[in-house]
Amino acid sequence: MTTGASRTERKHFRQWLSICCLAVMLAGVANIALAAETDADRALYRDALADLYAVRLHAFEAKLARLEDHPLLPYLHYARLLRYISTTDPDEVRAFLERFADTPLANQALRHWLDNLAQRGQWALYRAFYDPDVAGSAVAQCRYYRSLHETGEKEGALIGAARMWVADESRPDVCDPLFDVWRRAGGLTDALAWERITLVLGANRPSLADYLVRYLDPASERLARDFIALHRQPQRLTRIASLPGDPLRAAEVIAHTLRRLARSDPEAADAAWAMWADRVDLSADAQRRVREEIMRWRIRRDRLPDDHVASWPPTELMGADVSGLVEELARRAIAAERWDEALTWIRRLPEQQRDAINWQYWIARASIEWNSGAGNGFIAASHPQPIPALDPDAALALLTEVAGRRSYYGFMAADRLERPVNLQAQQLQASEEDIGRILDHPAFQRAVELEALGENLDFRREMAWLRARLDTRDLLILAEVCRRRGWHDQSIQATISARKWNHLELRFPLAFAEPMLENAERRRLEPSWLFAVARQESAFMSYARSHAGALGVMQVMPATARITARQLDIPLANTWQLLDYNKNIEIGASYLAQMYDRYQGNRVLASAAYNAGPGRVDQWLSRRPPTPADVWIEGIPFRETRGYVQNVLAFSLIYSHLMELDRPFLYDHER
């Protein structure tokens, strides 16, 4: 079991870190006077905004004149435009859009202007200013089509209304006036209502489908209600003999319900398919989709016939693209260490797919195992094809080739061969002229000021705007400048935008080094592993918030944070403290340490638990042991978690090298 960096390693790394910090401090001494001047300008900027919002316009204009050369001058003009947007002349708006076209504010201002025009019913102006590339939301589109109607372009408005109404989700309330006009004009037909109900149920929104039934003709209502009921309880399909209404629509209902039923009970779906196949006329495509879904869930629930390898593909899937199913079958065989079967499935993949590094690794790995006599005899003797294994020399050569790649599979291959990894790292050579070109860029200067003022959203917009306008070379220079400033997430984003994967110091910054090292030491964690988890979770964005509610550098869920803080007596006043990177790293590292201890120092299992939860990991372990590690990881049923664990392990090795720590890809007890 690993217990973090040794005392000597920690001392060495802290010395290296101190030298880096000292260099930054010395570089900053010369800028003290400049910093004082900058602070004064920032205070003046804040005061100008305060004057504007307090309607002290003379004071605002005076400060605006003093800030004529300030990077955030466009933001003051933008704030004034928004403050008085309802009374602003259209020519003033055009002048603003033209003057500040080289900033993100032009598009933001246009969106606000369009919103205001719609609220005031200025439809002719709305139509004149509308730009779908800038204002492409459903709200903006509905308003645009309404502006067409209000200005006499009724045919275009009605066509647009139909396009907006047929969607798989609820439409914004602002669309209702447009839809009312469209319905009164006879645009909403029974066919369109049925089309939308089909889309909505395909997106699993049965409550919205309930609402939409009112727009069907009476003759279609009963079938639609049966459709919704079967969506909610697909097993009912086995207990009914027929469906009312249009036969083609009934066929749609049957196909949809069979696909739904397959997820919970593929055998029942198979039986229902046999019962309904002669009663409804399904298109060839609909039949294929049903059979594919039944097969997918048979695979996932391990309910395949004994001869499924020899008889593949099923007759009803002949000629279809079943490569996704074949990949699932290959992973299933790998997870069970049935090497002859795994090789058979991999060889059935299309050549381009089979040449991907993951399948090249498994061809080599499975061939070596098959040649040694392990995991064979699972394919029926009647199978007509020989096992497509490589001979021992070819398998070793392929594994060696894979080991030369910088990736999870490359590192795993190198680990099996007991060879050093090939990081293929490049160092960026940036001149002072290069650095100065980025520092002098107006967008970068605006970003500096916005970050200092705590305006994170506008800061991110400026950086995204800048990245979209730099060439590959300058994107790398931007990444280096961001790294020096401690904008770690922006350094990563710029390197990704440049698609220069070999610049590891830019892609994998040693962000928040002090709290990361302190918490790794306190919780007896490998520091490189802790860095890797943070890099995977948030790319070191301290203010990151996921759709699920996870927060901060370590993407900690608030409920998990409260429990962990209470268990370990860590002060946590409220959820928003998790956006403080020190607190977030402390709690995230503590929870990671709990997972590490729970799984006896196995980083593979602890990483999976950090992502998917320990309950799921315990469930997976009840089905198969955690070693061999590569086999267990490949068999993780969640694609997200499988990729997460692979990335964390690969990132951990990269960080070990960047930190000059001698660490293996996997420890003996993890292999």
Please state the rounded mean pLDDT for residues 220-224: 97
Of residues 91 and 385, more confidently modeled: 91
Nearest one of 473, 441, 551, 555 to 103, comparing CA atoms:
441
pLDDT per residue over 44-85, tens digit each?
A: 999 999 999 999 999 999 999 999 999 999 999 999 999 999
Q: Tell me, what's the pLDDT at 32?
A: 43
Q: Which of 462, 485, 501 is the last residue of a domain?
A: 501
* pLDDT at residue 132 greater than cutoff 90: yes
Are residue 331 and residue 292 in the same domain, yes or no? no
Q: What is the three-class DSSP state of 265?
A: coil
Residue 381 pLDDT > 70: no
Mean pLDDT of the chain: 93
Q: HEC profile for 84-142?
A: CHHHCCHHHHHHHHHHCCCCCHHHHHHHHHHHHHHHCCCHHHHHHHCCCCCCCCHHHHH
Conformation bin of residue 220: beta by default, left when phi > 0, alpha when psi is -120 to 50:
alpha
Q: Percent of the chain having pLDDT more than 70?
A: 93
Q: Quick check: 35 pLDDT over 80?
A: no
Is 496 a member of any domain? yes
For the ranges 308-317, 331-340, 352-361, the lowest mean pLDDT is seen at 308-317
Structure tokens at 302: 């391990």
Report if residue 577 sits inside a domain.
no
Over residues 289-313, the mean pLDDT reads 90
**Whole-number pLDDT of residue 305:** 84
Nearest to 489 by CA among 587, 555, 408: 555
pLDDT at 25: 44
**Residue where one domain finishes, among candidates 453, 468, 501:** 501
Angstrom distance (rounded) from CA 353 to CA 425: 27
Q: Looking at the structure, tell me whether residues 202 and 288 fall in a common domain.
A: yes
* Residue 466 forms part of a structural domain: yes
Question: Picking from 125-134, 371-380, 401-410, which range would have the lowest pLDDT averaged per residue?
Answer: 371-380
- Rounded to whole angstroms, the Cα distance separating 320 from 332 reads 21
**Do 248 and 322 belong to one domain?**
no
What's residue 573's pLDDT?
92
Residue 278 confidence (pLDDT): 87
- Please state the rounded mean pLDDT for residues 433-446: 97
Domain that holds residue 322: 315-403
Mind listing the pLDDT tens digit for each residue in 227-247? 999 999 999 999 998 999 999
> Do 200 and 289 share a domain, yes or no?
yes
The mean pLDDT value for 463-492 works out to 97
Instruction: Please check whether residues 274 and 237 belong to one and the same domain.
Output: yes
Q: Is the pLDDT of residue 382 over 50?
A: no
The per-residue pLDDT for range 499-526, each reduced to its tens digit, is 999 999 999 999 999 999 999 999 999 9
When mean pLDDT is compared across 36-40, 94-98, 500-504, 567-571, the lowest value belongs to: 36-40
Q: Is 521 exposed, middle or buried (0-12, 13-18, 19+ CB in 10 A)?
A: middle
Among residues 537, 586, 634, 670, which one is catalytic? Answer: 537
Residues 446 and 490 in one domain: yes
Same domain for 284 and 322?
Answer: no
Q: Which of 85, 94, 91, 96 is nearest to 118 (CA)?
A: 85
Tell me, what's the pLDDT at 376?
Answer: 64
Q: Rounded CA gap, 169 and 87, in Å?
A: 36
Helices marked H in 314-454: 323-335, 339-347, 351-354, 357-371, 392-403, 408-417, 432-439, 442-452
| Distance set, CA 486 to CA 458, 470, 491 (Å) | 18, 20, 9
**pLDDT, position 375:** 66
Together in a domain, 356 and 383: yes
Does residue 249 form part of some domain? yes
Instruction: Let me know whether 399 and 442 are in one domain.
Output: no
Between the CA of residue 196 and those of 128, 137, 140, 192, 200, what are the distances in Å? Answer: 31, 19, 21, 6, 6
Angle 287-291-296 (CA atoms, 0-180°, nearest 5)?
150
Q: pTM of the prediction?
A: 0.90
Express each pLDDT in 455-466 by its tens digit. 999 999 999 999
CB atoms within 10 A of CB 164: 19
**Residue 380: pLDDT over 70:** no
User: Is a pLDDT exceeding 80 seen at residue 114?
Assistant: yes
Task: Return the pLDDT at 26.
Answer: 39
Tokens of 161: 């209304």
Residue 109 in domain: yes
Q: Which of 33-42, 325-334, 410-419 has the lowest mean pLDDT?
A: 33-42
| pLDDT at residue 20 is higher than 60 | no
- In terms of pLDDT, which residue wins out, 325 or 33? 325
- Is 225 found in the same domain as 266? yes
Q: Are residues 445 and 478 in the same domain?
A: yes
The confidence score (pLDDT) of residue 311 equals 83
- Range 636-651 average pLDDT: 97
**End-to-end CA distance of the chain, in Å?**
12
Q: Which pLDDT value is given to residue 28? A: 44
CA separation for the pair 47, 168 (Å, rounded):
47
Residue at 409 is within a domain: no
* Total domain count, the chain: 4
Same domain for 287 and 333, yes or no, is no
Q: Which of 368-382, 492-506, 618-632, 634-648 has the lowest mean pLDDT?
A: 368-382
On whether residue 5 sits in a domain, the answer given is no
Model confidence band, residue 19 (pLDDT cutoffs 50, 70, 90): very low
Look at residue 300 in the predicted model and tell me its pLDDT: 92
Q: Give mean pLDDT, residues 115-137.
A: 97
Percent of the chain with pLDDT over 90: 87
pLDDT at 7 over 80: no
Query: Does residue 200 belong to any structural domain of this protein?
Result: yes
User: What local confidence, expressed as pLDDT, does residue 307 receive?
Assistant: 81
Dihedral angle over CA of 62, 63, 68, 74, nearest 10: -110
Q: Could you tell me where the DSSP H helices lie in 138-246? A: 138-150, 154-165, 176-184, 190-202, 206-212, 218-232
Instruction: Please provide the DSSP assignment of 363-387 as one string.
Output: HHHHHHHHHTTTT---S-TT--SPP
Tell me if residue 537 is catalytic. yes
